[in-house]
């Protein structure tokens, strides 16, 4: 049985003119322990897809199944790391993680919960900042807290919605490694949504492009058959990496061009001319 399965999932956001189908016929299967990345253009429907899998919104038609059971609500079994950290500003790093852990394990003792918080804060190298509030942290540190918070709840599946998009290249690279370390240690199932092909190839077992919407749908998948742990510096010379990178970028460029050529939008430029020109 597939761990996560989307069967012919469609999502339309209703509006006064009837609505737009953002996602069309999404079929996706993820097996236990797999790391899958979905790459897509901005606005193609990636967050909509995450919200459907997370149970925050319902499909207009089709089914989302987690371990064979239809997803009808959010659950601690699926931990989401969002792109905007979403930390509570009045709580410290430790308190932000504690709150989530308490919600996930309401019957555990305070001491046990505090020990979990300490472990996960240490795991993302933030022990010295455990008593700081979000406004005292850099963007990279805040995202680390968000990672610790999601993982401390011990979800069976980690869903990441462009979690590293706002970070500089160095911080991004470090956090990619931290997420991979945690994923490989506990062998959880992971879904990464990203607009960065290199990030997808470095982290995932499979990459699936999301064709731009409206009516966005998943394209052909690319299997990244590169041994783990992967070495970022030697990846550039790896033939499998180069082959996949070129194929994915070519595919994305082709569908990008296709989208441009079918666009009916026309732009009228205003008729203006300078009243006077002084050299």
Ligand X SMILES: Nc1ncnc2c1ncn2[C@@H]1O[C@H](COP(=O)(O)OP(=O)(O)OP(=O)(O)O)[C@@H](O)[C@H]1O
- Which of 46/149 has CB closer to ligand X? 46
Choose the stretch contacting ligand X; rule: CB under 6 A; options: 35-43, 66-74, 116-124, 242-250.
Answer: 35-43
In the complex, what is the shortest distance from the CB of residue 264 to ligand X, in angstroms, rounded to a whole number?
A: 17
In the complex, what is the shortest distance from the CB of residue 25 to ligand X, in angstroms, rounded to a whole number?
A: 16
Cis peptide upstream of residue 229 (ω within 30 degrees of 0)? yes
CB 206 within 8 A of CB 30: no
- Of the candidate residues 8, 27, 43, 256, the single one contacting ligand X (CB under 6 A): 43
Q: How many CA atoms lie within 13 A of 138 on its CB side?
A: 8
- Which of 22/93 has CB closer to ligand X? 22
Size of residue set near ligand X by CB under 6 A? 10
Q: Residue 191 interacts with ligand X (CB under 6 A)?
A: no
Show contacts with ligand X in window 47-86 (CB under 6 A). Answer: 47-48
In the complex, what is the shortest distance from the CB of residue 101 to ligand X, in angstroms, rounded to a whole number?
A: 28
Q: How far apart are CA 77 and CA 210, in angstroms?
A: 25
**What totals of helices (H) and strands (E) does the chain contain, helices first?**
8, 10
Structure tokens at 187: 């062998």
In the complex, what is the shortest distance from the CB of residue 54 to ligand X, in angstroms, rounded to a whole number?
A: 12
H/E segment holding residue 9: strand 4-13
Structure tokens at 86: 């979403």
Residues that bind ligand X in the complex, under the rule CB under 6 A = 13, 22, 40, 42-48
């Amino acid at each position: 049985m597939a761990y996560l399965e989307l069967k012919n999932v469609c999502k339309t956001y209703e509006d006064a003119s009837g609505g737009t189908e953002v996602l069309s016929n999404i079929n996706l299967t993820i097996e236990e322990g797999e790391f899958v990345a979905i790459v897509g253009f901005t606005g193609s429907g990636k967050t909509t897809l995450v919200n459907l899998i997370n149970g925050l919104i319902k499909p207009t038609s089709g089914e989302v199944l987690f371990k064979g059971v239809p997803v009808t609500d959010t659950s601690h079994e699926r931990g989401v790391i969002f792109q905007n950290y979403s930390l509570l500003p009045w709580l410290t790093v430790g308190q932000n993680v504690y709150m989530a852990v308490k919600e996930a394990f309401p019957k555990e003792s305070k001491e046990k919960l505090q020990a979990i918080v300490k472990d996960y804060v240490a795991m993302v190298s933030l022990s010295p900042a455990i008593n700081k509030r979000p406004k005292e942290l850099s963007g990279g540190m805040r995202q680390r807290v968000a990672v610790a918070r999601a993982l401390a709840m011990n979800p069976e599946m980690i869903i990441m919605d462009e979690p590293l998009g706002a970070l500089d290249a160095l911080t991004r690279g470090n956090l990619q490694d931290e997420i991979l370390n945690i994923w490989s240690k506990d062998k959880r199932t992971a879904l990464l949504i990203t607009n960065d092909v290199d990030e997808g190839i470095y982290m995932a077992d499979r990459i699936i492009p999301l064709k731009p919407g409206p009516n966005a749908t998943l394209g052909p998948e690319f299997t990244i058959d590169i041994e783990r742990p992967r070495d970022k510096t030697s990846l550039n010379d790896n033939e499998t990496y180069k082959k996949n990178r070129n194929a994915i970028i070519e595919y994305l460029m082709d569908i990008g061009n296709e989208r441009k050529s079918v666009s009916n939008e026309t732009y009228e430029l205003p008729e203006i001319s300078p009243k006077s020109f002084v050299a």
